[in-house]
Structure 1
């Protein structure tokens, strides 16, 4: 009795996968702590610095990571985007982030960066003060606090909802399961002449170094709240 084996291609390297799931857990925890309020806001502040470290890492990894994690690979040109919207996408468009998915990823990173940035200079004058409030004017604090608590958080909700809807839509209507690839890193049914992402120790060791550096930078920002 013979069995068939569907060739798989490594798309998402381990550092990218860990970033994705750590960011997802952090966003959920940030929402929960914000809604609980009170003493939970201390954890909200800490988690904000965790997301800051993750975003810094993703920027670095966008230039040094696996093939399909690099910005140069998945950020679409206008011509590529138009071709995809016309139903003329290539195998490469289906391997990593497709052109529309890439735009949503960039939008998500920018929105999260905006939330982290405004959070660092926000002050609700009750239980929360960002690490960098003493470096900006009162008007900036007021604007940042208002944005962080209103438009900023709703944009995060909208992007998360769009992300989940896209995953469900691709699974139901196109029979493309996106979640498993972000768990084990591989996608089946792709041409084997497409480049595979570098993984293993060749990816983990530099990623660990970059992650540590980003964590130190985020911790340094954290210490601005208490240093004089």
Structure 2
């Protein structure tokens, strides 16, 4: 069932005067989650570095709720958000990267073959960070809500993972930013603006169908369920 955001392609002018078509490719949920996650990762780092652990825990709970929502939206949401639509074979991703420095128009409705795997990796390491935080215990001030309910060895391992995994998050985030810059400089493809506006300009000859955008009611329901689940977990500590 498509939401009210759905719209057909609209003729427009591409950058540089080349004719193009405007297509709505990213729904508000994917865009808000993307930029919200950027802010929350920064908040989590800052709150840990400054000893504001109550704020750190709150930020972690919000991140976990958003990740659970994103996993559900990846199965039930908009076409461009669905894992089954943008995850392709590793060979397809490598084939795409071989043309990284070839200047060509952007014809992808959503994530390209390599970008899809980057999204999956980022979601995986962020989920590992959030889940490990539930079991983490610094033995001084702060423990996750599930730390007291887990065996000591498990809590120790999760604490170790929670501390070390953040470096992997930073490395993948840096690689993601580098890829966006390379696309802008080498291929003249702007990947940032569509993630802000939701709209991408495709070549004028593009004759495909615009992606189906998911139901806002379903999205709100899934987000509410994710938030309720995380809140229930937070009360166990």
Q: TM-score range by the shorter chain?
A: 0.7 to 0.9
- For residues 134-193 of structure 1, the C-alpha deviation after alignment (integer angstroms, 9 at most, x for no partner) is 2211111111112211x2110011111111111111111111111110111111024543
Is residue 8–residue 187 contact of structure 1 (8 Å, CA) maintained in 2? yes
**1:131-150 equivalence runs, <5 A:** 131-149=145-163
Task: State the match for 2:53 in structure 1.
Answer: 41
CA distance in 1, matches of 2:32, 2:183: 22
**Distance of 1:91 and 1:177 partners within structure 2:** 10
Question: In structure 2, what is the equivalent of residue 27 of structure 1?
Answer: 41
1:155 counterpart = 2:164: no
2:104 maps to 1:97: no
TM-score with structure 1 length normalisation?
0.88
The aligned counterpart of 1:181 is 194
Which residue matches 1:122? 136
Residue 224 in structure 1 maps to residue 236 in structure 2: yes
Contact 1:13 / 1:197 at 8 angstroms: preserved in 2? no
Equivalent position SS for 2:190: coil
- CA contact under 8 A between 1:9 and 1:192: conserved in structure 2? no
Of the structure 1 ranges 10-19 and 86-95, higher mean CA displacement relative to structure 2 is found in 86-95
Match in the other structure for 1:72: 84
Within 2, Cα distance between the matches of 1:95 and 1:138?
Answer: 47
* Structure 1 unaligned spans of 5+: none
CA RMSD for the aligned pairs?
Answer: 2.3
Measured after TM superposition, the shift of residue 73 of structure 1 is 0.7
The count of corresponding residues between Structure 1 and Structure 2 is 218
Name whichever structure is richer in helix by fraction: 1
- Say which SS state the counterpart of residue 194 (structure 2) adopts: helix
Q: CA deviation at 1:91?
A: 8.3
Q: Distance in 2 between matches of 1:212 and 1:102?
A: 26
Provide closer, same or farther for how the CA distance between residues 78 and 157 of structure 1 changes in structure 2, counting only shifts above 3 A. closer
Partners of 1:93 and 1:111 lie apart in 2 by: 29
In structure 2, the gaps of 5 or more residues are 1-11, 14-18
Of 128-137 and 93-102, more deviation after overlay is shown by 93-102
